[in-house]
A and B are shown apart, each in its own frame.
Chain A
């Protein structure tokens, strides 16, 4: 084992050195005039070829290798693989931007996505490793008996993981189209190929070793640009350690900027616009005709005057693009109203906790912060693709150590994300806000072209006010190399890192779905007599079908599914967490309790989410279902209800029904104590 670990370490040290040399080489080539597009291609294709090579080298026809990498992944490497598995496109690209936009409130994600590992370490990982099977539904099936709990587990696994995998593949499409200029749909299928080359031939074994390689790329790519920006601003290249002083400077800038008369005026203008749209939406459908008439009248007036032809053309275009139906008008104007209201809102001070108009609003913000942290943590400790990673270590001891390593490798990114946000904010507040719009730096218009940055000089003073600048959260990480004035090779590196983050997470998720369907449904429920070969064939076919399905959904650019990713945590938490934890820590929990608790927890969570967020589901013919959130808790934190009700249901129903039999008691004992394994050993 130790030889194996030493050998692995040597390989990966060499590999990391090779990767750094590759970056340096591209940097030199850029100096000599290699065009940015080629640098983009080099990063995209060479990294995918690399993953494919690992995937092919690690191919296997052994069931244990295919599902759990032969259970011989040392703690350190399992930690890196878990880190890559965990950190998705959203963490890599979106998190820093969320922190930029929402300041303290965004820290809920930072805490939630790391603190969940405390629950994994203390309540789940060692026990799951001791159980030592293949999937999470496996554990539920063995602990509660029969197929009920297993089936609900499979359903929840597929539900949470599929939404999540679609978002990753969508992320690959976005990255390849932005950096390499591939068409979005082609990018999606390049991503699909990148995922399949890893998981198809080698299953968990190939995915694990690829994820370790991907972790190295993603962490270098995440930290390098902000370290350089930090060096430029503070003279110290360790952004995590020094951003406190930059935060103080940001606070100073906030105090200067927020109350400038031009800022106040710009915000008022945006609020007035929001009110106007609001009024229009309220007066639908009459207002649509009025708008059309008003435009036609203006066009006629301009035509008969000596106005510029250009102005007429602009107005005619506006008239052509008017919404056709009142429903379309409602949707568009409502969105415009929200956008304007957002720009007109009072800006948030970066470090202020729970901002709100008054005490009550602030307390609601606090409640939402705390419940979101809770849901993200419990969800982290319940997402099957993370939990199955702890089946792959050689021993229980290594499983415990590997949670420590996982959290360590994950922290490297999550400690950096808030620093990213603060450095970007400092640059933007000090160099962008208050300058002439004609003289903005190049990256503003470059990212503006694809709609990630938008500027509107609403008070026509030719100066950029903070309220006039709207940023998509993704732009913070993507544009930091340019904001810091770094060469293009660093932008290419960021793209490669984002790609690694998306692919590694997609690999893990896809394998989890395929294992749940092939192992739990096909093998355990329908064909317990299936041969090993046949099980692998089924597993690989399912993998292929799910992958193509996910890519097809992703290529439709589904807006709602991206939003629903935030829900996956609440769903997974409500479905799995109570049943898993009580299954280990409470012998009295029985099948009736677990199944009803999982179903009721899931249902409560789903119904709460849907009813708080949507008023109607047109394709199901459901209308008027909207409800007021309980205690003002938003749909992303719906899991708080599902998890609590899930726990209560399992306890109550278990106590009302007969206690589980002797074999379940023995099973729990076996999972709790390490000695049974050593007793079995020769």
Chain B
């Protein structure tokens, strides 16, 4: 029973983080692109902002999302004692 609860708690935290990161992914990808015409009015590092998001900004945020998720989950595994050892 204790194991089942532990699993539930682990899974809930995993789902919460996954949902949060997917939300960021969605905003960066679809919301920012949807408003690209408007964002292009602003300038960032010499780029029109809408163009910058498509060419660099969103890509760097994707990398940050993937990196953070790996870090978070690897920590969570350890916290719950799911240590695989080795790797």
B70 touches A1 (CB 8 A): no
Is B33 a contact partner of A373 (Cβ separation < 8 A)? yes
Contact A107 B51 (CB under 8 A): yes
| B74 x A400 contact (CB < 8 A) | yes
Report whether A373 and B30 are in contact in the complex, using a CB–CB cutoff of 8 Å.
yes
Cβ proximity bits A112-142 to B, threshold 8 Å, 1 near / 0 not: 0011011101110010000000000000000
Tell me, yes or no, whether A281 is within 8 Å of chain B by CB. no
Q: Determine if A595 is an interface residue (Cβ-Cβ < 8 Å).
A: no
| Contact assessment for A354 and B65 in the assembled complex, using a CB-CB cutoff below 8 Å | no
Which residues of chain A have C-beta atoms less than 8 A from B65's C-beta?
Answer: 118, 121-122
The residue in A369, A408, A674 that gathers the most chain B C-beta atoms within 10 A of its C-beta is: A674
Q: How many chain B residues touch A (Cβ–Cβ < 8 Å)?
A: 48
Q: Which of B17-45 contact A (CB under 8 A)?
A: 18, 21-22, 25, 28-30, 33-34, 36-37, 39-40, 45
Report if A415 contacts B (CB, 8 A): yes
Instruction: Give A678 to B3 CA distance when docked, in angstroms.
Output: 14
Chain A, residues 1-24, CB within 8 Å of chain B (1/0): the string is 100000000000000000000000
* CA gap between A118 and B63 in the complex, in Å: 8
* Other-chain residue from B11, B59, B73, B81 in contact with A110 (beta carbon distance below 8 A): B59
Q: Is the CB of B21 within 8 A of A118?
A: yes
**A675 / chain B contacts, CB cutoff of 8 Å:** 7, 80-82
Q: Which residues of chain B are within 8 angstroms of A353 by Cβ–Cβ distance? A: 36-37, 39-40, 50-51
Contact of A351 among B10, B22, B47 (CB under 8 A): B47
Q: How many angstroms from the CA of A145 to the CA of B87 in the assembled complex?
A: 31
| A115 B46 Cβ-Cβ under 8 A | no
Contact A244 B54 (CB under 8 A): no
A609 within 8 Å of B by Cβ? no
Q: Mark B48-63, 1 if CB is under 8 A from A, else 0.
A: 1011101110111011
With both beta carbons as reference points, the residue of chain B lying nearest to A106 in the complex is identified as B54
Q: Which A residues touch B60, using CB under 8 A?
A: 411
| Cross-interface CB contact of B46 among A244, A352, A373, cutoff 8 Å | A244
Given the interface contacts A118-B66, A353-B51, does A370 sit within 8 Å of B11 by beta carbon?
no
- With A and B bound together, what is the CA distance between A158 and B65 in angstroms? 32
Minimum distance in angstroms from B54 CB to a CB of chain A: 3
Q: Does A403 contact B (CB under 8 A)?
A: yes
- CB–CB B66/A403 < 8 A: yes
Residues of B within 8 A of A108 (CB): 54
Q: Does A238 belong to the interface (CB within 8 Å)?
A: no
Q: Which of A118, A401, A418 contacts B55 (CB 8 A)?
A: A418
Contact with B82, one of A117, A119, A394, A673 (Cβ below 8 angstroms): A673
B54 engages A110 (CB within 8 Å): yes
A352: which B residues are within 8 A, CB to CB?
40
In the assembly, what is the distance between CA of A395 and CA of B86, in Å?
Answer: 8
Chain A positions within 8 Å of B14 at CB level: 672
A residues apposed to B, CB below 8 Å: 1, 75, 104, 107-108, 110-111, 114-115, 117-119, 121-123, 126, 240, 244-245, 247-248, 351-354, 362, 366, 369-370, 373-374, 377, 393-398, 400-401, 403-404, 407-408, 411, 414-415, 418, 669, 672-675, 677-678, 681
The 3 closest A-B pairs by CB, nearest first: A244-B46, A395-B87, A107-B54
Q: Which residues of B contact A (CB under 8 A)?
A: 7, 10-11, 14, 18, 21-22, 25, 28-30, 33-34, 36-37, 39-40, 45-48, 50-52, 54-56, 58-60, 62-63, 65-67, 69-70, 73-74, 77, 80-87
A-B contact pairs, 28 of them (CB 8 A): A75-B87, A108-B54, A111-B58, A111-B59, A115-B28, A118-B22, A122-B18, A240-B56, A244-B52, A351-B47, A353-B36, A353-B50, A366-B33, A369-B33, A393-B87, A397-B70, A400-B69, A401-B74, A404-B63, A407-B63, A407-B66, A415-B55, A672-B14, A673-B7, A673-B10, A674-B77, A675-B7, A678-B85
